[in-house]
Amino acid sequence: MLLDVGSPCRASLIFSNVVAPGNVRTAWLDEVSAEEAAALERENALGRFGEPREIAEAIVWLASPAASFVTGQTLVVDGGTEMR
């Protein structure tokens, strides 16, 4: 999808990025056992679940002028799960 929208968006300065969150502390945790939750926490380098605020802050950054040269990217916000 990102490759498909890249060229037409150039003239309009439309940015196309994706945020890929890891395990985040939300209501889904109520559906898993304490053992499963502990195992999931250990899957990332930080050893904890992300907070919804942390994902929101990544999105705010992508929408800010600070990310004005960032497009066509996937921003992985997963506490280091991908690096393990």
pLDDT digits (tens, 9 = 90+) for 60-78: 999 999 999 999 999 999 9
Average of per-residue pLDDT across 22-28: 96
Q: Does a structural domain hold residue 51?
A: yes
Q: Does a structural domain hold residue 83?
A: no
Q: What are the helix and strand counts (H, E) for the chain?
A: 3, 2
68: CATH: 3.40.50.720
Q: Does a structural domain hold residue 16?
A: yes
Q: Does a structural domain hold residue 84?
A: no
User: What's the pLDDT at 8?
Assistant: 61
Q: What's the domain count of the chain?
A: 1
The residue segments making up the domain with residue 37 are: 2-77
Quote the pTM value: 0.82
Q: Does a structural domain hold residue 82?
A: no
Q: Does a structural domain hold residue 64?
A: yes
| 14 contact partners, CB below 8 Å, separation of at least 6 | 5
